[in-house]
Amino acid sequence: MDEINLKSILLYLDRILHYQLFKINDTDVTISSLLIFIILFAALMFLSKLASNLLEKHVLTKMMVDTSSRYRYRQITYYILMTFSILFSLQFIGIDLSGLAVIFGLLSVGIGFGLQNVTSNFISGIILLFEQPIKVGDRVTVNDTLGEIVEINMRSTTITTLQNVSIIVPNSDFISSQVVNWSHRDPKIRLEVDVGVSYNSDLDMVLKVMKEVALEHKNILKNPEPEVLHRGFGDSAWDMQLRAWIDSPEGQFRIISDLNCAIVRKFRENNIEIPFPQRDLHVRSSIAVPLGIESAAAKEISVAADRTRQEG
């Protein structure tokens, strides 16, 4: 009896596993073939990830390739291996992919079901890896948010802000929107520090002191040389600006703070005043109203009040 039940269970399972779900290119796709595809694809995906990581750690690192290029080659290798994994897994279960027509057919079906954004982000991610308008390690500003790119994935890019907050940005935003890349090509940036100086100050001393502040800071480049400009005449001060270059946007706000503090100290040492905003208030005495005009106006107001009370 038990043997009969076991046979019936096995026959039932066999019917379930060989149940036809759909056809692709005259090939029956059953539950068993679908399970084989999932298991094989998962194993190949794991091997693809492992191979790309080994390429980065044991080959590219020894070749002294920079960090952003290592990440780029690793991701490209991973995508290529993933593509071959999909093709091999489908061929293994008997699906013939002549000219990749089936893949594009499945992609069009996916787009029809609302995967336009996923497809757009995936293609944008490939463009980012090959064209490299942004790279891992770049400092960028996206939607008024400043941060460093730490990872470029198939669908999205991860940015870590200065507050150590991770922001996930869809890849298509980097293609279709304006992005400020502080590290693109030449990472040097120019800092600008504005300060108002009293009209009573020695202008030559001001120019000298502000330039000394820049030259004494360890992170300020000597070439290009820092410069101090007189930008104009304010209400109560000369508008001065210190311009200085640093080799990387990293730490720019701390350096600006250092320059501001140094300017305050140097100005005090040399008796240079940073004036407070001044406003002159002129108070005019009231104009006397002739007595006749005042009496007539008062009379009109009184008559209007009496008329209002009567109507009420």
Q: What is the pLDDT of residue 257?
A: 95
Residues 93-108: tens digit of each pLDDT: 666 655 455 555 656 6
Residue 263, judged by CB atoms within 10 A of its CB (0-12, 13-18, 19+), counts as buried
Tokens of 296: 């007539």
The SS3 assignment for 50 reads: helix
The pTM of this model reads 0.58
pLDDT in tens, 145-192: 889 998 888 788 999 998 889 999 998 888 888 888 888 778 889 999
The CATH label, of 1.10.540, 1.10.287, 1.10.3470, 1.10.3120, for the domain at 2-114 is: 1.10.287
Confidence band, pLDDT 50/70/90 cuts, at residue 88: confident
Sequence-distant (≥ 6) Cβ neighbours of residue 239 within 8 angstroms = 194, 196, 230, 231, 232, 233
Distance of CA 262 to the CA centre of its chain: 32
Task: State the architecture of 131-181 in CATH terms.
Answer: Roll (2.30)
Query: Tell me, which fold does domain 186-307 have in CATH?
Result: Alpha-Beta Plaits (3.30.70)
Inform me whether the pLDDT recorded for 120 exceeds 70. yes
CATH 1.10.287 domain position(s) in the chain:
2-114
Highest mean pLDDT among 109-118, 127-136, 211-220, 274-283: 211-220
| Separation between Cα atoms, residue 217 and residue 255, nearest integer Å | 8
